[in-house]
Structure formats: C-alpha cells, structure tokens
Amino acid sequence: MRALAVAFLALLLAAPALASEVRPTLAELESETRCPVCEGPLELSNAPVANRMRVFIRERIAAGDTKSEIKDRLVAEFGPRVVQLAPEASGFNLLAWLLPFAGLGAGAVAAGVLAWRWSRTREPAVPAPVVGSRNGRGTLEPELERRLDEALARFDP
Amino acid sequence: MTSGRLKLGAQVLAVGFVVALLALLAWKLVTDEGGEAASGAAPAFDLPRLDSEGSLSLASLRGKAVVLNFWASWCEPCKDEAEVLERTWQRYRGRDLVVIGVDANDFRGDARRFARRYGMTYPLVHDTQGEWLDDYGVVAFPETYFIDRDGRIVGERIQGPVDGSVEVEEQYERGIALALAE
C-alpha cells in the first residue's frame, strides 16, 4: 500500500516535468537558453539574433519537437554556450563560484569575533566577591561608609 | 583601545576587499578589450565551410593575402558591404588575395540564404562557438581584418561596413595593398 502511495506521488511530481519536456513553451525555453551576442538570458535580450532564436523556437514547438530536441538544435547552431546559464567554473569566472563562499566564510568569522567580544564585555557585569567587604560586593568610600554607619546607628534600639 | 583597533582593522579589510574587486573588474575589462589581435600574428582559425563541405584553415592560405570579414545574416550593414567584398574577391583572386567571410552567432540556414541573396561567392566559414570573435577581438558586426602573406595582421581593422565612408574606403584599399605587399 505504501509503495503504491510513493509511486503515485512520484507520478504526480513527474507529470509536470514530463509535460514540459514533451510540450515545451516559448517562455520556458527563453528562460533556459541565452543570447549568444549579449550572453544574457534569451528572455531579456532584444538583440536581432535573440529575436531570430525566438522565431526558431516557436517554429520547432509548432513542429512538435521536445524541449531537448530544440535545445540540441540550438547547440548545433550556436554551440553549448547557449544552454549554459551559469558561468564556467574556470579563469575569471571562477570568482562567481568562489566569492559567495568567501563571503559566507568572512561573515562567519566576523560573527564569531563579534560573539567572542560581546561575551568578554559581558563578563565584568558579574564582579567577583571582594575580600574584606561586609557584603562581598566591594567597599564604600570611607566618608560614605562613615555617614551610612551614622545613619544606621540612629535606627539601633 | 582594542575595540577601536579591531574596528579600524575591519574597515581597512573591507575597503581593501572592495578595491581588490574593482581592480579585478578593471583588469577584466582591459584584457577583454580584444585589441591584441588587431596587430601581430593572426589567430590561426580552422572552421567548417558554410558554402561547401569540409573546413578552411588560415594555415592553408599561407603565401596568400587575406581579407577576413566577420558577419552575420541579421546584421544590417553586412548587406551593404557584401557587394564590395564580392567585387574585391573577383578583382584580386588572380593576384593571390582571398576574401573570407566568417559567419558567427547565426543560423547556418539563414547565412546560406543571405549569401545566395547578396551574391557572395567568396569562401564562407561558420564559427559555431563564436570563439574566433574573442580571439580576433571582434566587438560588433561587420568587422574586417587584413592578413599578409606571412599570416600577420596588417593595416587597420575596419569596424563597421567597408564602404561606410570615403575614409573607410581608403582604409580598405590601404589594407588590401599592405596585405598584398611582398
């Protein structure tokens, strides 16, 4: 019974992906390909070649091509760069991959240092008992202590 | 005191990081300018033919002068200059000068139709990956280079159509003369 439920759930999740592969839309393909001239996503490009690519995609969708087939045709014409949306992890582009992790690392170090400093500045808030003090919280100025003793003496019976 | 030094250190580090990123960006922009191929040895391409079977390499043309024109079928100015390039090909082909059209960022079918429509009979190749655009430093279509018999880029590259103005036409003739010089 459980296996049946899992299989049903898998089918439910796979159905949209399958539909997208078999019957792709222009919007989907525009978001998954890029313009070879401006190198940005096709959906954001108004370059002449991008407009031509849209016409081509519409024609291929109308002809019944799957998403993979349309992408393969675009790769045959323009090379794999048109379906690679993320920058290649080499050379200067490596920065795009490394900088987020470097930023995360720097943020973690900064948070650690701040937490450490914060905990150190909080420590003196609980002073250690002072030896020689009546209540263990430190001694008063001699003059203040004298006046306090006088005042308390008035309440003595 | 320690807190102040720590704060100053963090500020210096942050400013240093931003300056380093800006320097990297500047370096990238400068190196991407692509002016390197505007002189010196021409990048030795080997590309599939658009107008026939097989491929064409620059190395196979050693000993001949070359007018190398980058174009695409969607490029409006390319329509105007196609006739000039064809005339050059017809006029100089008996004098060891080859006009080559490098089509890039384009559908091959569109490029072939364009070539038929504008009567381009000179050799055409297709740069599928667009890799030679970077190697030659092509900024926009059309762009034309002159390569001498020893495979060196000579003259001034023409950015825009070769018949754009009287000055450009003179620059074009000068480029051809330099490429043909013994």
Domain CATH code at residue B76: 3.40.30.10
Residue B133: pLDDT over 60:
yes
**Percentage of residues of chain A with pLDDT beyond 70:** 75
Query: How many domains are contained in chain B?
Result: 2
Whole-complex ipTM: 0.76
Residue B138: pLDDT over 70:
yes
What does the pLDDT read at residue B7? 78
Whether residue B101 sits in one domain with residue B64 = yes
- Measured between CB atoms, does B24 come within 8 Å of chain A? yes
Q: Contact B151/B62 with Cβ under 8 angstroms? A: yes
Residues 6+ apart with CB under 8 A from B114: B73, B78, B79, B120
Size of interface A-B (CB pairs under 8 A): 33
Q: Are the beta carbons of B74 and A48 separated by less than 8 Å?
A: yes
Strands B46-48, B40-41: pairing kind: unpaired
Whether residue B3 sits in one domain with residue B71 = no
Residue B1: pLDDT over 60:
no
The residue range of the domain holding B6 is 1-31
Mean pLDDT of chain A: 83
Whether residue B148 sits in one domain with residue B134 = yes
All domains of chain A in start order, with CATH: 2-83 (1.10.8.640)
Query: Which positions in chain A touch B74 (Cβ < 8 Å)?
Result: 48-49, 52
Q: Are the beta carbons of A49 and B6 separated by less than 8 Å?
A: no
Q: Are the beta carbons of A92 and B106 separated by less than 8 Å?
A: no
Whether residue B25 sits in one domain with residue B79 = no
Alpha-helical segments (H) within chain A: 2-22, 26-32, 48-62, 67-78, 94-122, 142-155
Whether residue B43 sits in one domain with residue B15 = no
Minimum Cα–Cα distance from A36: chain B residue: B105
Best of B24, B105, B128 to substitute, by most chain A Cβ atoms within 10 angstroms, is: B105
Whether residue B111 sits in one domain with residue B68 = yes
- Measured between CB atoms, does B10 come within 8 Å of chain A? yes
Alpha-carbon torsion (B57, B62, B64, B65), positive or negative: positive
Residues 6+ apart with CB under 8 A from A70: A24, A29, A57, A60, A61
Distance from CA of A53 to the nearest CA of B (A): 9
Whether residue B137 sits in one domain with residue B48 = yes
The b/e string for B142-168 (b: 16+ C-beta within 10 A; e otherwise) is bbbbbbbbebebbbbbbbebbbbeeeb
Whole-prediction pTM value?
Answer: 0.69
Query: Which positions in chain A touch B28 (Cβ < 8 Å)?
Result: 92
Whether residue B119 sits in one domain with residue B176 = yes
**A51 CB neighbour count, 10 Å cutoff:** 14
Residue type, A101: F
- Measured between CB atoms, does A110 come within 8 Å of chain B? yes
Whether residue B60 sits in one domain with residue B123 = yes
**Percentage of residues of chain B with pLDDT beyond 70:** 93
pLDDT digits (tens, 9 = 90+) for A28-51: 999 999 999 988 999 999 999 999
Whether residue B68 sits in one domain with residue B40 = yes
For the ranges A11-25, A57-71, B131-145, which has the lowest average pLDDT? A11-25
Which residue among A77, A92, A110 places its CB closest to the CB of B107? A77
Whether residue B71 sits in one domain with residue B1 = no
- Measured between CB atoms, does A77 come within 8 Å of chain B? yes
Q: Are the beta carbons of A36 and B130 separated by less than 8 Å?
A: yes
Whether residue B73 sits in one domain with residue B6 = no
Strands B46-48, B97-104: pairing kind: unpaired
Minimum Cα–Cα distance from B107: chain A residue: A77
